[in-house]
Chain A
């Protein structure tokens, strides 16, 4: 099956710094990538949808200036948490799909655990 990777798998940073998380589709072209956030013992919440070459579409309540998403190529999307604060600590998961190619299955990455001190 299709493989999606995330890097890093975990990161610890100081409050006020920015952190970039990468999401890569390893063996297929991901025309669409999704970013989710998962709080401890809770479900996943969709943060934003990004299509290659376009601006991301953010869900209601998600600060687009805080969570910068770039989808510059068909195999890479990045999520940058700017000026991170402890409340941004969470598990971030991306998923990728090739919607333009008629494949509607989303393939999920392994997640990135962010801890902001």
Chain B
């Protein structure tokens, strides 16, 4: 069975600082991996996805994530945080049957 673990339900970083949101996955087959962002009272927006091509995936809004098979990780990073990055971020995993399993989410707070 697949699962996703996001470390830290809340993360606070200063504006301009590095953003690092951690995600570890469990999958019996090579997975598809995703990061989604959810702004208050809104649906999900896809930030980026990994589908077995390049291990470093670049997404929208300056975010990127690196797939590390040896660590079963897919951490999300952004070099410099903006106030507008404050939101809930979900890591997700899917095998080829297209069902997406979401992590519990990490709320990112940006400090001025």
Does the CB pair B46–A105 fall under 8 Å? yes
Does the CB pair B105–A108 fall under 8 Å? no
A49-B99, A108-B43, A113-B41 known; A42 vs B32 contact (CB < 8 Å): no
The CA-CA distance from A65 to B101 in the complex, in Å, is: 24
A105 neighbours in B (Cβ, 8 Å): 46, 49
Nearest A residue to B90 via CB reads: A43
For the side of the interface on A, what is the size category?
20 to 34
Query: How many Å from the CB of A107 to the closest CB on chain B?
Result: 8
Nearest B residue to A10 via CB reads: B41
The CA-CA distance from A52 to B51 in the complex, in Å, is: 25
- Is B56 in contact with chain A by the CB < 8 A criterion? no
A97 neighbours in B (Cβ, 8 Å): 98
- Is A68 in contact with chain B by the CB < 8 A criterion? no
A43 neighbours in B (Cβ, 8 Å): 90, 102-105
Q: B residues touching A (Cβ–Cβ < 8 Å)? A: 32, 36, 41-46, 49, 51, 90, 98-105
Q: A residues touching B (Cβ–Cβ < 8 Å)? A: 4, 6, 32, 34, 42-46, 49, 93, 95, 97, 99, 104-111, 113
